[in-house]
């Protein structure tokens, strides 16, 4: 039987004890082959592109830059921050268009603690 398990962690978490690390240790001990992939963070331009794909419209550079800084280019967290802005009513939709207002970086949802 083939099985795919996808686990994510930040570089700061790589050496820390966690369920994913425990699983990898067990797989290695049992000689079960597995593959790990290290993904590089997105550039600020790619973070902006991701946000534009999520919101299907142009995103102001200052908003994209703030989200990029908060998430350190992690695409998963960038998407979560974008959804958090909508959930908190900071980004709203009216007349089939997103209202992407200027955001103070302190207003951005905190998705995970910065290392």
**Distance separating alpha carbons of residues 14 and 36, to the nearest angstrom:** 12
Count of C-beta atoms within a 10 Å radius of residue 82: 25
pLDDT tier, 115 (very low <50, low <70, confident <90, very high otherwise): very low
Give the pLDDT score at 50.
97
**Cβ atoms of 68 and 61 closer than 8 Å:** no
**Distance separating alpha carbons of residues 109 and 22, to the nearest angstrom:** 30
What pTM was estimated for this model as a whole? 0.70
Query: What pLDDT digit, counting tens, does each position of 54-83 carry?
Result: 999 999 999 999 999 988 898 988 999 999
Query: What pLDDT digit, counting tens, does each position of 83-106 carry?
Result: 988 988 888 899 989 988 777 666
Residue 46 φ/ψ, nearest 5 degrees? -70, -35
**Distance separating alpha carbons of residues 50 and 71, to the nearest angstrom:** 13
Q: Percent of the chain having pLDDT more than 70?
A: 86
pLDDT tier, 6 (very low <50, low <70, confident <90, very high otherwise): confident
DSSP type of residue 16: S
Q: What is the mean pLDDT of residues 48-53?
A: 96
Domain boundaries, the chain: 44-107
First to last CA, the chain: 38
**Distance separating alpha carbons of residues 92 and 74, to the nearest angstrom:** 23
């Amino acid at each position: 039987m083939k099985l795919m398990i996808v686990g994510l962690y930040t570089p700061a978490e790589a050496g820390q004890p966690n369920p994913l690390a425990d699983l990898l240790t067990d797989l290695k001990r049992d000689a079960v082959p597995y593959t790990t992939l290290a993904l590089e963070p997105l550039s600020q331009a790619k973070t902006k592109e991701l946000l534009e794909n999520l919101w299907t419209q142009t995103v102001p550079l200052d908003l994209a830059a703030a989200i990029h800084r908060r998430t350190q280019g992690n695409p998963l967290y960038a998407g979560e921050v974008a959804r958090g802005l909508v959930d908190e009513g900071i980004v709203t939709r009216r007349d089939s268009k997103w209202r992407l207002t200027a955001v103070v970086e302190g207003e951005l949802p905190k998705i995970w603690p910065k290392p």
